[in-house]
Homo-oligomer: A and B are copies of this chain.
Amino acid sequence: MKQVMVVRSDLKMGKGKIAAQCCHGCLGAYKRANPIKVKEWERSGMAKVTCKVGSLEELLELKKLAIINKVPHYLVVDAGKTQIPTSTTTVLAIGPDEDEIIDKITGDLKLL
């Protein structure tokens, strides 16, 4: 079981901003996940992975894949008070769900 946060690397976000955006996504996807899978994930150590994509288009493609594969996910749209313009899509959080299912979506991505 794992949860993956996919971050847009084409935005000018510092590491603190990235971390906060990932937290938004982590919590958002967690709340939408199947409680039974959440329990499994918690028992197995709550693995969390961060990956990156180079554009909004790639992030939205992954969101489509998450929908097709029926995987809980959360797209973070930042209010844009700091560092980036208002309503910028920054992160897609996927899961927690089984590794094999998540890998169908994010298996080819580079780690952040």
Contacts and interface: CB of A to CB of B under 8 A. Distances in A.
The complex is assembled from copies of this chain, and their number is 2
Nearest to A13: B15
A60 interface: no
A112 B111 CA distance: 21
Interface string A7-36: 100000011111110111011001000000
Contacts of A50: 16-17, 19-20
Interface in A34-50: 45-46, 48-50
Contacts of A75: none
A5 interface: yes
A79 interface: yes
